[in-house]
A and B are shown apart, each in its own frame.
Chain A
Amino acid sequence: MSSTTSPDLIGPETAHAVLTAIQSVAERSFFAAVEPCDERAFGELAVKVSRWLVATVRFEEGPLVGSMSCTLPEDLARALFDAFTGGHPSAPAPARDQVLDLVGEFSNMVCGAWLSRCASDWTFKLRPPVVEPVLQPLGADGLQLFVVVNDRPLALALRLLEPAFPAAAGAKA
């Protein structure tokens, strides 16, 4: 499958819509503040990070097929976990699987919030998130957005692919 970037979807309007989605998710469910930042500011924060997690959600919405990835420091994931579950920072550390699940759900919500707005006439499918450690945020061949969440860096990458399944392109819900 080849990767393609659509000028209609990988542009300023999409970047704004994705930023709105991540702000909505972070504020409503994780009580976290999100501010956009440029690549340089992101880089300055990123050099202080030793452990990263990336959560990737594959989506299909009508003819739109692609993936969204959120890359964030492990300590931010832990902070989001505490906010989401109402846990106290002094409570015992959660199991690693729980943190990975939480990061996956965060990415799932951001992707869903964006898709719900960008093409509301279509239902969509989200594949279960894949969460894994990475040494550093990966470059994207589509849209890349840098934000600061509670003073910690988070990179979001949106890639659009050609429809993997012919039915996805023609089956309007």
Chain B
Amino acid sequence: MNWTWFHKLASPPHAYRIAAGLLPWFAWPAGALILFGLYGGLVLAPADYQQGDAFRIVYVHAPSAWLSMMVYATMAVAAGIGLVWRIKLAHAVAAASAPVGASFTFLALATGAIWGKPMWGTWWVWDARLTSELILLFLYAGIMALRASIDDRDRADRAAAVLALVGVVNLPIIHYSVYWWNTLHQPATLTKIGKPSMAADMLWPLLAMLLGFTLFYGAILLVRLRAEILRRERDAAWLTTGLAR
């Protein structure tokens, strides 16, 4: 198999340019899908027969919860690639992902708490889903703090990568917590795409928001990755000519 494309992609100057070219392909569809999802979720979708209009919180809660785990998985894969193949760009992807993932984990927890008050009668319970999601936020915070606390960049990358990989064990716990334990949190609505437990006019705005948030992460990752490349390659010769473009 020819891996030239992979090695080319892993080269910082090439990645810096590719990221700039890809950015509009993520940012504009993300904006359009989020606007469509907001209109569909807030205006077009009917009220839920049990939860009334409070169910509309799902249009920001579910996409942020999805991103909290998807970003972590991306970060862990990148960290693993960086550790095994010593590709610096992979560590840059992991470093660029952590603050984004942390922000969406916070959003998932906050919107979940606000949704919980009218539905469960409480802002917070120490149930398995909520607790494991809170641990995810602590993992993000720990990874960022660990990276910031080590001056040597290579050592910081390796330490953060090891912690990110150890934390992967939390992802299946979050996902399956609603099946393994008796939780207040409802089971997944969208895992059974063939037979989702949601009416179509409620489902499409949610799918638009899920895809919109995912593309949004892609766009933010590209911008943060470019910044990370600049910080890591500060003494590289290509920067002098590369930045002029």
User: A and B: real partners?
Assistant: no
Residues of B within 8 A of A (CB): none
